[in-house]
Amino acid sequence: MFLPNALTLLNLALGGGALVCAVEGGFLWAALLILLAGISDTLDGRIARRLAMTSEMGKELDSLADLVSFGVAPAMLLYLQVLAPAYGSAVAYLVALAFMLCGAFRLARFNVLNISEYFVGVPITLAGGVLAAVSIAAGHLPASFIAVGMLVLAGLMISTVRVPKL
């Protein structure tokens, strides 16, 4: 179980690094670290399944790492980069908070449902990756588009829409 868990912890470390970069104004680096965390997250699950090393602990650890890397880090990145400068901290915080809370709910629901054929709601990894890409293009997008997009993604994470597993 060492390799899958090491990749999960790498995912978490990349998410933590993204938070530090965002706080220090390194928005591009933060976005890139979130995208790299997505690669690590993809690999940990595939390797665990291929080597028959899946476990409940690994699943829970993965969800905790995902909440940081794809929930908190992208929300804070766009809070600092776009939302707070455009709307002030109160409105910006509410938008970022909605994304983080919906991401946490989505991960908890995923762990409880144990559905293997499809995802219920948009996966947080996808939503966080979209926000990282939006951050890279933020200079060309209106703040209102980004705020509404974050709220739509938050709603899609907690929706009951079936998303096929690839």
How do the pLDDT tens digits run along the chain, 166 residues long?
689 999 999 999 999 999 999 999 999 999 999 999 999 999 998 999 899 888 889 999 999 999 999 999 999 999 999 999 999 999 999 999 999 999 999 999 999 998 888 999 999 999 999 999 999 999 999 999 999 999 999 999 999 999 998 7
d(CA 116, CA 95): 31
Superfamily covering domain 2-164: CDP-alcohol phosphotransferase transmembrane (TM) domain (1.20.120.1760)
Ordered by start, the domain boundaries in the chain are 2-164
Cβ neighbours of residue 61 under 8 Å, at least 6 residues apart?
5, 8, 9
The pTM (predicted TM-score) of the whole model is 0.95
- Written as one letter, the residue type at 130 is V
